[in-house]
Amino acid sequence: MARDVCLIVNPSAGGGRGERRLPAVEAVLRAHGVRFRVERTRSLEHARELAREATVRDEVSASLGGDGLAGAVGGALRGTRGILGVLPGGRGNDLARKLGIPQDPSAAAEVLVSGGVREIDVAVAGEKCYLGIASAGFDSDVQDITLASRVRLGSAIYLYGTLRALAGWRPAAWTVTVDGQEHAFSGYSVAVANSGMFGGGMQLVPDASLDDGLLDVVLSAESTRRSFLAGLPKVFKGTHVDNPALTFLRGREVSFSADRPFVAYADGDPLSDLPCTVRVDPRALRVLAP
């Protein structure tokens, strides 16, 4: 028997994409006789409250929005019997890609009906959780630009933000500690990955696993702007991993700081000012996947 569903919708996600996709999702659930209700979010904290309420009611908490909404709902369900459903309705939708959930709303809704339960890791920074990638440095500047932009470019907004940020970028000095081992370098950014994907299909860590109990860390060292730009298209294919400016590490706890202020962003939303410490909570979240 199909589980009851609470559709937690961000009506402004992806320029209204989540709201536009809602009728297709509802039609699939009705066709299968699934009982559901719709709740529209006012904030990420409101989304967390809705997820906790859905768990008490023994409903699947299905996030219809972007990766930030999925991370907020997933964080609220972490360590509980609650189940996360992922319906892509934002600009990036990288968690859905990693889980193999279709981008088409009707096909994604079918996963709510017939998908199996999978246990995945959750990345935890203080009181906040995320499921994708947290990064700071150059990526912080990119996020500031994309969040402030009114240009409607879909997932291409990340490329727009990158080009804008690159014009005024100067390297930062970084200190990163992975499971007690310190690394220092000068460069662009530090990324701490759970899923390994961000930016609307960028495979920053192609072989990252959602259930290995480890965080993947990427240190992006100083290089020329031309070299940096030349490597960007490769990230979408995951063929950038042999770039000598990149260092890949793995660990259960990661702390990082820089010589100037940055905000670490995770899945498109502010996570923490630096310094920041992230740890992994292994297989702490139940999620529906094909």
**Rounded (5°) CA angle 51-55-61:** 50
Domain presence at residue 168: yes
- The pLDDT value recorded for residue 13 is 74
Domain presence at residue 211: yes
Positions of the chain with pLDDT under 50: none
- The pLDDT value recorded for residue 150 is 65
DSSP line for 159-185: HHHHHHHHHT---EEEEEEETTEEEEE
Record the tokens describing residue 237, joined without a space. 């294919």
- The pLDDT value recorded for residue 11 is 86
CA distance 20 to 13: 10
Biggest alpha carbon distance in the chain? 57
- The pLDDT value recorded for residue 157 is 66
What is the phi/psi pair of residue 110, to 5°?
-60, -30
Contacting residues for 96 by C-beta, under 8 A, at least 6 apart = 70, 86, 87, 88, 102, 103, 108
- The pLDDT value recorded for residue 238 is 87
Q: Final residue of a domain: which of 51, 85, 114? A: 114
258: domain CATH number is: 2.60.200.40
In a shared domain, residues 107 and 145: no
- The pLDDT value recorded for residue 5 is 97
In a shared domain, residues 93 and 172: no
In a shared domain, residues 139 and 241: yes
Contact between 201 and 236 under an 8 Å Cβ cutoff? The reply is: yes
- The pLDDT value recorded for residue 145 is 79
Domain presence at residue 119: no
What is the phi/psi pair of residue 83, to 5°?
-125, 135
Domain presence at residue 120: no
* Domain that includes residue 216, residue range: 130-282
Contacting residues for 82 by C-beta, under 8 A, at least 6 apart = 51, 52, 54, 55, 61, 76, 286
Residue 9, classed as helix, strand or coil, is: strand
In a shared domain, residues 66 and 180: no
In a shared domain, residues 105 and 10: yes
Q: Final residue of a domain: which of 80, 114, 148? A: 114
pTM over 0.95: no
- The pLDDT value recorded for residue 155 is 56
In a shared domain, residues 108 and 137: no
- The pLDDT value recorded for residue 201 is 79
30: domain CATH number is: 3.40.50.10330
In a shared domain, residues 159 and 101: no
Question: Angle between the 105-114 and 17-31 helix axes, to the nearest 10 degrees?
Answer: 50
In a shared domain, residues 235 and 173: yes
Domain presence at residue 163: yes
Residue 195's closest CA among 288, 44, 108, 71?
71
In a shared domain, residues 149 and 101: no
CA distance 239 to 140: 23
In a shared domain, residues 77 and 156: no
* Total domains present in the chain: 2
Q: Final residue of a domain: which of 89, 114, 139? A: 114
In a shared domain, residues 176 and 264: yes
